[in-house]
Amino acid sequence: MNSHSHRFIEEFDGFVGFGLNRESDSDTVIYYLQKFSDDDLMAVLRKRLTDEDRQAIFDLLSGLLRKHLSEPEYHRYFLKTDH
């Protein structure tokens, strides 16, 4: 199974901004998520996030995964395991 990757953020040279159109909105969400999940940033934020912050992030992400992925897709693309 493939390991995790963040190639988009390394290769993207387009517009970063929200509200212009669906394509740039999608690019911006990917950009922000990959920047947000950077290990160095997470090392700082994990000490500062409140219990409520962590719960909100978890609820948002797990809810989106449940809404948009089948169980096999969840295992393949998120967990990176064979199902």
Count Cβ atoms below 10 Å from residue 6 Cβ, excluding itself: 13
Walking along the chain (83 residues) 10 residues at a time, the average pLDDT comes out as 83 95 97 96 97 98 98 95 80
Helix axes 39-48, 22-36, angle to 10 degrees: 80
pLDDT computed for residue 17 by the predictor:
96
- Provide CB contacts within 8 A for 78, sequence distance 6+: 65, 69
For position 51, what pLDDT does the model report?
98
- Determine the length of the chain: 83
